[in-house]
Chains A and B, each alone.
Chain A
Amino acid sequence: MARATTPRRKALTTLAAWSVALIIFFPVLWMILTSFKTEASAVASPPEFLGASWTLENYAEVWSRSDYPRFFWNSVVISVGSTLLGLVIAIPAAWSMAFVPGKKTKDLLMWMLSTKMMPAVAVMIPIYLLFQWLGIYDSKIGLVIALMLMNLPIIVWMLYTYFKEIPGEILEAARMDGAGLWNEVVYVLAPMAVPGIASTVLLNVILAWNEAFWTITLTTTKAAPLSAFIASFSAPQGLFYAKLSAASTMAIAPILILGWFSQKQLVRGLTFGAVK
């Protein structure tokens, strides 16, 4: 029996949800506010808000000092490219694990996930040398491959979970109607798993966009994405918090906007199959 929802309970729940959301979002909000302050105002104690000196100077300086469009374009290519390449590999892998599992499927899934537990720095030198040797250091294709491999376990796991929710009988029916493997995956499975695939794509684009260790380690000038753009404004000697905030805001703005407009799809995908 459904629990009765009183107006008071609804108001309290709404208030609690907004409070939690504000706490989670506050660091980002503060960073955005700081980006519009002068350097002196940015580090004022107690922190200034209404009485702060507001300015657009930080954005002007960050824009003039660096080639933002190049960093932005590199981020787009690397994050979208690695996600799409990951899907090409992960969809067939997840299909086989979900619908024709073998004895070792569970072990294989666990092994894939376990690769995420190794600290990245442990394989830094081998990967670095490999990239040098293959001639893909500081190239977008190199980073697409690196980030795809890094996120592949997550993509496979997510798709596997979504595919498991799809009744096998539907695929069987398609086969009985004469659908081959390709048609079964493309015309039956994929449309049914669209919410799951969409949320997988969004999550992995976000993960790739925000990745900083490999994108900074494996690039210098040509393929450096927005993570390197932010790092270039971090200063050990000197207070440049407002400029650093402006650079960070410019770096996260595209992904923040993407997340905002696709939140419905993202939530739907992430909660897919959560309630039976």
Chain B
Amino acid sequence: MNMTLRALLGATALLALTGVAMAETEITVATVNNGDMVRMQGLMDDFYAKHPDIKVNWVTLEENVLRQNVTTDIATGGGQYDVLTIGTYEVPIWGKQGWLASLDDLPADYDVNDLLPAIRGGLTVDGKLMASPFYGESSMVMYRKDLMEAAGLTMPDAPTWADIEKAAAAMTNRDAEINGICLRGKAGWGENMAFLTAMSNSFGARWFDETWKPQFDQPEWKATLDFYLNLMTQYGPAGASNNGFNENLTLFQQGKCGMWIDATVAASFVTGKDSTVADKVGFALAPDNGLGKRGNWLWAWSLAIPASSTKQDAAKTFINWATNKDYLALVASKEGWANVPPGTRTSLYSNEEYAKVPFAKMTIDSINAADPNAPTVKPVPYVGVQFVAIPEFQGLGTSVGEIFSAALAGQQTSDEALAAAQTVVTDEMTAAGYIK
């Protein structure tokens, strides 16, 4: 072999090695289509500038489709996704199953102690952080200041359900197509049951007692459902049993709701450019009944790594970038503080600039008012404020949601609905082995 040939072969080998060293790691991120996630995709140049060796492929899907695809992938160990966008409901269940990789070894600049305790608690399984919160939310009262003023009422910062009923009655004006209150009625564990479960906590109700016996036959649930049905029948919009988040948002933005109790993330929409009442909206904590618990929920969309991913280092690099304090500063510098993903970090709420955002204080107060480990007045065997973190809950929640939605539509009484709910849940929990 002559020298020239050796030199050529050597150069080829070196080039090949260089190619390996410079090779991109491609990761696939499964996510939902919401404003904060879309914004992040628009800021990826910053990530690529810092990590040119990682390429991110996005799979954006509707929430339920995403949940189905990701569950299928993760349960079968498919390994198609490297980063998952999952909710507070999935994290404890999937974490316990060993489906998620621990995020305890993220770099020091991630500053895990800066995470809001309530949010961090919901994402920690057996002492390990299983997902990193991208944005957190609770629920609160959004109300029309002008209508309250016209009615001669003032909304307390921390209203009771009696205050809400009184305000709803005063603001309802059927001739002007103004409904005193708009609440979720569409059936689903993440729709009407998210609201009703959170509401029931403030009435002292619970899904199960300490022995997993369903509690829909107890007076607390009767009080919850009666109050809800009465409120919605008298002061709610027509066809409310079909209304979810987006339907109520439409009504509120068009000035057809005096109050709306829903996710804190809605605050930016009702005060945004598409709202006809943007400058007339006030905020208050979700109502209570004087029992020490408010009717607000706690949710976070978080980023997690499936244990089946073969690119966990690159996935952790991405998660550290997307959920780091620096990312919040990046969004603020490009799009303003009002567009920063809320509800994840303590430092954000001590920032003077962020404190000027109108809904900032109420959001953090609402998040702090929810405790997923002690969601209601009496002790419970489960974790979760507006859900019960067991695999069976998706089906149970939707079944009960359909029953309560039918009651709202006038197809059955509250007593019939509660009896049906008790039967359905008892049967399912017995079949699942919770009730011996």
A residues near B, CB below 8 A? 38-40, 43-45, 65, 124-125, 128-129, 132, 137-138, 216-217, 220-221, 224, 228, 231-240
Contact = CB atoms under 8 A, between A and B. Distances in A.
Main secondary structure of the interface of A (DSSP, over half): loop
B34 interface: yes
B59 A128 contact: no
4 interchain residue pairs of minimum CB distance: A232-B60, A234-B62, A40-B274, A221-B57
B65 A231 contact: yes
A138 B80 contact: yes
18 contacts: A40-B253, A40-B275, A124-B72, A125-B76, A128-B78, A132-B76, A216-B65, A217-B72, A228-B59, A228-B61, A233-B33, A234-B62, A235-B62, A236-B62, A236-B246, A237-B34, A238-B249, A239-B250
B254 A125 contact: no
A239 B274 contact: yes
Given A216-B69, A217-B72, 18 more contacts: A39-B274, A40-B274, A43-B254, A125-B72, A132-B76, A216-B65, A217-B68, A220-B59, A231-B62, A232-B60, A234-B33, A236-B63, A236-B244, A237-B246, A237-B263, A237-B265, A238-B34, A239-B274
Residue of A234, A236, A237 most packed against chain B (CB within 10 A): A237
Main secondary structure of the interface of B (DSSP, over half): mixed
A216 B32 CA distance: 14
Contacts of B59: 220-221, 224, 228, 232
B317 interface: no
Contacts of B35: 238
Given A43-B250, A233-B33, A128 B61 contact: no
B110 interface: no
A238 B246 contact: yes
Given A132-B78, A216-B61, A235-B33, A45 B254 contact: yes
Given A128-B78, A137-B78, A232-B60, A240 B33 contact: yes
A264 B265 CA distance: 51
Contacts of A65: 38, 41
A38 to B, nearest CB: 8
Contacts of A233: 33
Interface of B: 28, 30, 32-35, 38, 41, 57-63, 65, 68-69, 72, 76, 78, 80-81, 244-246, 249-250, 253-254, 256, 263, 265-266, 269, 273-276
Given A128-B78, A216-B69, A238-B35, A232 B61 contact: yes
Nearest to A219: B59
Contacts of B60: 231-232
Contacts of B32: 235-236
Contacts of B81: 220
Contacts of B253: 40, 43, 239
Contacts of B244: 236
B66 to A, nearest CB: 9
A129 B244 CA distance: 35
Contacts of B269: 238-239
A38 B58 CA distance: 26
Contact of B72 (A128, A221, A240): A128
Contact of B249 (A216, A220, A232, A239): A239
Nearest to B30: A220
A43 to B, nearest CB: 5
Contacts of A132: 76, 78
B274 A217 contact: no
A32 B66 CA distance: 26
A152 to B, nearest CB: 24
Residue of B246, B254, B266 most packed against chain A (CB within 10 A): B246
A132 B57 CA distance: 19
Contacts of B38: 65
A180 B244 CA distance: 65
A60 B173 CA distance: 40
A128 B62 contact: no
Contacts of B69: 216-217
Contacts of B250: 43, 45, 239
B57 A236 contact: no
Contacts of A236: 32, 34, 62-63, 244-246
Contacts of B274: 38-40, 239
A40 B252 CA distance: 12
Nearest to B26: A221
